[in-house]
Amino acid sequence: MSATHTITVTEEHAGLRLDKFLSEVLQEVSRARCTKLVDEGCVEPAKSASYKVKLGEVFTVTVPEVKALALTPEAIALDIVYEDEHLLIINKPPGMTVHPAPGAYTGTLVHALLAHCGDSLSGIGGVARPGIVHRIDKDTSGLLAVAKNDAAHQALSTQLKDRTLKRTYLCYAWGSLSPRDGEIDAPMGRNPRFRKQMAVVSNGKHALTYYTTLDTYIPKSSIQPIVSKIECQLDTGRTHQIRVHLAHKKCALIGDKVYGTAAGTKFNRMRSSHTVIPQETLLSLTEFPRQALHARELALIHPFSGEEMQFFAPIPADLEALEWTLTSLTNRA
């Protein structure tokens, strides 16, 4: 059912834009949603969203019933790191798609969240759906934040935009970076040759990644690292940013079938030409089934309490096995 609110402008709110006033009083409704309610004629007396409210004015706001999302909830087990009435922090396994898309119309994180949350979703933009604040790729594991209501989604999206929501990733990449620690500041956009891929392009959008080399794996009887263990922190959040930036630096992720082909081919040749590394070890590295990327840490400010929160996701089993292989290779296990 729709809900009707009658609210009076107090001295605290006098002079604010109507949409801002409504969002501050109706705390579960985002400002963007309030603007839409004004535009749709759900606020009486009728005004524009930019109208400056006056002390003592009374407005009647009708918030329509939240519409159901046209997806069937699926009872899929979730690794829930944190949950309250406003948000969820999920540790997503590799292989799970976040949103329904061609080729993945079922079994997605959204389907699982609809089943898990049930009636606790109060609606994002008027639709009962989980608000995915930021995405991670199907084959990337780790943490992502999900909003349960409009206001939480708006607040977390703002944090993402102003960079107060921090995301730190762990990855394993071919070769090594020079310098070992630093930043990759390279604009990104669509690959002009392969439109389904991203690339570093001169006319792209600003993209900045900070990185720290945590370890390098140098085989016995060799002086060159075959693989590096790297921590990356996103300043911006372009599609495939870490994958593209590391490939641009000739240090592509292990297992990256899109951006790491050249690196994988280079080291794949070592099966027949390099005797330092056991053939079975090379096989396990060059045929690792996904990009070796894990969203390990997430830091944010709770959208209602204002509490600074930090979450960690342990390294998944497949990456743990990969690291064991690498440490064994360098005789440091």
Output the pLDDT for position 188.
Answer: 96
Output the pLDDT for position 309.
Answer: 98
Output the pLDDT for position 219.
Answer: 81
Output the pLDDT for position 252.
Answer: 94
Output the pLDDT for position 332.
Answer: 46
pLDDT over 90, % of the chain: 55
Most confident residue range from 15-19, 34-38, 327-331: 15-19
With 60 as the cut, is the pLDDT of residue 264 above it? Answer: no
- Give the model confidence (pLDDT) of 79-133 as tens digits: 999 999 999 999 999 999 988 776 777 889 988 988 898 777 766 555 556 788 8
- Give the model confidence (pLDDT) of 279-311 as tens digits: 777 778 888 999 999 999 999 999 999 999 999
- Give CA torsion, residues 255, 257, 258, 259, to 10 deg: 40
Output the pLDDT for position 29.
Answer: 78
Catalytic residue among 19, 137, 139, 256: 137
Q: Which range among 73-77, 125-129, 144-148, 180-184 shows the weakest confidence by mean pLDDT? A: 125-129
Output the pLDDT for position 126.
Answer: 52
Query: What SS3 state is found at 34?
Result: helix
Read off φ and ψ for residue 125, nearest 5 degrees. 65, 30
- Across residues 42-51, what is the average pLDDT? 90
Output the pLDDT for position 333.
Answer: 38
Q: Which residues pair with 111 in a beta bridge?
A: none
For the question of residue 79 being annotated catalytic, the response is no
pTM of the model: 0.78
Cα–Cα distance list, 234 to 98, 171, 242, 246, 277 (Å) = 19, 13, 8, 12, 33
Output the pLDDT for position 200.
Answer: 96
Query: How many residues in total does the chain contain?
Result: 333
Output the pLDDT for position 265.
Answer: 54
- Give the model confidence (pLDDT) of 305-314 as tens digits: 999 999 999 9
Mean pLDDT of the chain: 87
∠ Cα 226 229 232 (to 5°): 135
- Give the model confidence (pLDDT) of 183-236 as tens digits: 999 999 989 888 789 999 999 999 999 999 999 998 876 778 889 999 999 999
Output the pLDDT for position 133.
Answer: 87
Read off φ and ψ for residue 148, nearest 5 degrees. -95, -15
Output the pLDDT for position 294.
Answer: 98
Output the pLDDT for position 253.
Answer: 96
Omega before residue 289 within 30° of 0, cis: no
With 60 as the cut, is the pLDDT of residue 273 above it? Answer: no
Output the pLDDT for position 283.
Answer: 79
With 50 as the cut, is the pLDDT of residue 262 above it? Answer: yes
Q: Which range among 33-42, 50-59, 185-194 shows the weakest confidence by mean pLDDT? A: 33-42
CA dist 70 and 49 (Å) reads 30
Output the pLDDT for position 271.
Answer: 45
Structure tokens at 36: 């839409």
